[in-house]
Amino acid sequence: MNQVLLTVSGVIPDNLEAEIAAGRRPRADYLELARHFEADLIDYRIARATSGLVGRLFERIGGPNLLLAWACFTRRHHYQAIFTDGEQVGLPLAALLKFFSPNRRPRHLMITHILSVPKKMIFLDRFGVHSHIDRFIVYSTWQQRFITERWQLPQERVPFTPFMVDDQFFHPRHAPPQRASRPQICAVGLERRDYPTLLEAVRGLAVDVVVAAASPWSKQRDSTQGQVIPTNVRVQKFSQYELRQLYSDSGFLVMPLEPVEFQAGVTAILEAMAMERAVICTRTPGQTDVIVEGETGLYVPPRDPMALRAAIERLLAEPETATRMGKAGRRLVSAHMNLDHYAARLTGILRETLAESSVARAPAQ
């Protein structure tokens, strides 16, 4: 029996490992974590197949993430730790553990994206379920400070870890840049993207701009909709395989963000850095832990099209600067922010948490 149960907030594709082996998509973080943890995986499909009438009722009431939390709860006596992949599963699981299994439970580690929103704050304030989350693993130091201060938690319970990218898949050797008649830059993703500011910033510039306004994770609307699209801008959807070539063909990535308190845009930023591309990013409270100003990219103020345009014009006029930043970004990813480092760090956090559990259960001498 494995010690750890790891959630996947989605359905694991049947052909996933074959696609990875064929080089058509990056390695999945949950497969790498499951290998490092020696964990069992549970996704929506497994939860639906094993949770019976109660599980179906939970899904009808609260959606598939509540179903997944329930499925974890029913397995709580079979594992020493449950590792939830986000607060959408972790918070309801913590509530179930607190109110229906208060005395005997596994350790609970939760990847935490953002808790500084009213619904989640009220839930935690009112029900105190943080008592049944042993580790809040955060990708943003802003979120780390917020959680420790609001709920008076020791910092060791809220470990910060940089996010990651599969730098074996996103590697320049796999996608040499294709020749183009004039420079191209790109912007990628949906989550809290400020594309109206980008569109205003690039209007009339002598550069082609490709906006890949899609995401397999975000449910937010495409903020290019309803906007007047400049003639030098193309909005298109790409697969992860196609994104790799897009990064390669672009001089650099632009990441225009709304003011946010979490790591919005981090996936695309790291993918571009792994492909040796500089990044121009909106400086927000949550997005300050990846880009090194002047070394791997440039920050600009939120909702300031003139400042964004100036940064774009600078890197277009100084391609050697963009190249230097891109190579520095690749080195940073390889040294600290790739999938292998990420899995090793989370494995260390898991082992520490399980060791604490063993000490707590040890008889007094």
Q: What is the mean pLDDT of residues 44-50?
A: 98
Tokens 């989605």 appear where?
Answer: 10
Q: What does the pLDDT read at residue 288?
A: 87
Please give the Cα distance from 68 to 84 (Å, whole number). 10
Beta-sheet pairing, 81-84 with 208-212: unpaired
Domains in the chain, please, with CATH? Answer: 4-164+339-361 (3.40.50), 172-336 (3.40.50.2000)
* Strand (E) or helix (H) holding 282: strand 278-282
Contact 151, 130 (CB under 8 A): yes
Q: What does the pLDDT read at residue 362?
A: 38
State whether residue 323 is helix, strand or coil. Answer: helix
Please give the Cα distance from 93 to 41 (Å, whole number). 16
360 or 210: whose pLDDT is higher? 210
Please give the Cα distance from 78 to 42 (Å, whole number). 13
Amino acid at 64: P
Q: What does the pLDDT read at residue 363?
A: 38
CA-to-CA separations, 113 to 116, 190, 341, in angstroms, rounded: 9, 16, 19
Render 194-243 in DSSP notation, one character per residue: -HHHHHHHHTT-SSEEEEE---SS-----TTTTS---TTEEE----HHHH
Q: What is the mean pLDDT of residues 48-66?
A: 97
Please give the Cα distance from 194 to 191 (Å, whole number). 9
What share of the chain has pLDDT > 90, as a percent?
Answer: 90
- 90, exposed or middle or buried, with CB in 10 Å at 0-12, 13-18, 19+? buried
- CA-atom Rg of the chain in angstroms: 22
Q: What are the pLDDT digits (tens) for 134-173?
A: 999 999 999 999 999 999 999 999 999 999 999 999 999 9
Give 104's pLDDT tier (boundaries 50, 70, 90): confident
Contact 38, 1 (CB under 8 A): no
Q: What does the pLDDT read at residue 1?
A: 43
Give 214's pLDDT tier (boundaries 50, 70, 90): confident
Q: What does the pLDDT read at residue 213?
A: 86
Q: What's the pTM?
A: 0.94
Q: What are the pLDDT digits (tens) for 328-349?
A: 999 999 999 999 999 999 999 9
Q: What does the pLDDT read at residue 77?
A: 94
Q: Is the pLDDT of residue 357 over 90?
A: no
Q: Is the pLDDT of residue 229 over 70?
A: yes
Q: What does the pLDDT read at residue 58?
A: 97
Q: What does the pLDDT read at residue 180?
A: 86
364 or 51: whose pLDDT is higher? 51
CB count in 10 Å sphere of residue 249: 19
Nearest to 217 by CA among 327, 354, 338, 113: 113
Give 215's pLDDT tier (boundaries 50, 70, 90): low
Q: What does the pLDDT read at residue 364?
A: 37
